[in-house]
Amino acid sequence: MHTIKTIYQGDLRTEATHVRSNTRITTDAPVDNQGKGEAFSPTDLLAASLGSCMLTLIGIAANTHNFTIQGTRVQITKIMTNNPRKVSAVELVFDFPEQSYSDREKKIIENAALTCPVALSIHPDIEQKVSFNYYSG
């Protein structure tokens, strides 16, 4: 059984469908690469996948160790290079909610993020710059 089915719709746009849920994602080429930039580009999805994977694994670790990360946000910046055109780095800045985390919880959070499946699957030439901002109230 396929996980995802993707259809080219023309004008540098695709629609990917998650087979099990029928959820759809549209991609569009970016304006600096002949596209309209009206949706996520495929490389945007790579960066978004990294952030979502890290948050998901942090959430699993938090559940396992009985603390919460509800409201945590991550800001993601994708950095491209040319010749060849590719993602050279992804910068992720995590902002945790206004609660104190112990040193042990911070270690759990950071280990979960840095060992998520997407982080481990991305080519090592793509730099992953990750920072964690904890409320220090």
User: Which residues belong to CATH 3.30.300.20 in the chain?
Assistant: 42-133
What's the pLDDT tens digit per position in 59-111?
999 999 999 999 999 999 999 999 999 999 999 999 998 888 999 999 999 99
What's the pLDDT tens digit per position in 101-112?
999 999 999 999
Q: Angle, nearest 10°, between helix axes 103-114 and 42-64?
A: 140
Closest CA to 119 of 68, 54, 69: 54
Q: Please give the backbone phi and psi of residue 123, each rounded to the nearest 5 degrees, phi first.
A: -55, 140
Quickly name the fold that domain 42-133 has. Answer: GMP Synthetase; Chain A, domain 3 (3.30.300)
What's the pLDDT tens digit per position in 4-51?
999 999 999 999 999 999 999 999 999 999 999 999 999 999 999 999
What are the Cα distances from residue 95, in Å, to 11, 32, 45, 131? Answer: 37, 30, 21, 9
Residues 6+ apart with CB under 8 A from 32: none
